[in-house]
Structure 1
């Protein structure tokens, strides 16, 4: 069984008896992870799940314990860490990960990792050179 299949059975059994809602949320989460860099609104992700925006947010938080926006930011930060570790410029990483501005990217990245993107890239390069 795959990750999403296992996740489906766990969430379906534990949280919500309506199987179709579980499938829709897993599909929307997967869609978010694939299209994290696209300029899509939360309403767009909710449409992918065939749910209203507010119902989508409420169900997503119930199922996963965090909001869709928090998930999207964590996916973007995870990808940014990979790109920065590969010595990509901060501006390039910002654009490739779907952030709208370098200051907002820097603030979110620092809040998540404790380092600015430039400091993280520098630290990663030192680790790679050892």
Structure 2
């Protein structure tokens, strides 16, 4: 075991002594990263990790600073930005990243990014062409 590995383990043990909690939140985040385009909610995620939904909510917020729902939305918005930059139309982007309706997607996108998906896509294509 190298010196640095020992130091990392020491910090981990000091700061994150409960590996069960870490496994739960890291596993949940990993699951979200791989399935963000599906319908995900706290009940489902807690069942995947075999834990109480309230406990999962507290742990996720403690370690990542946001709720699982906020994280899912951020993940979906980031993927939507990539698809919109590639020229995917807004409706297809909406459903591909896991939103239920184009209007709710557009509203949420604008509140998070400051531009509607159409405006974002126009700026992205303008930037590409210049």
TM-score between the two structures when normalised by the length of structure 1: 0.87
1:56 equivalent to 2:56? Answer yes
Alignment partners' CA distance in 1, 2:95 and 2:41: 16
Alignment partners' CA distance in 2, 1:109 and 1:89: 14
Displacement of 1:124 in angstroms is: 0.3
Confirm or deny: 8 A CA contact 1:28 1:49 kept in the other structure.
yes
1:19 equivalent to 2:25? Answer no
* Misfit runs of 4+, over 3 Å: 9-13
Report 1:1-130 matches (<5 A). 13-14=14-15, 16-130=16-130
RMSD: 1.8
Gaps spanning 5+ residues in structure 2: where?
1-8
Alignment partners' CA distance in 2, 1:49 and 1:81: 29
Aligned residue-pair number: 122
Gaps spanning 5+ residues in structure 1: where?
1-8
TM-score between the two structures when normalised by the length of structure 2: 0.87
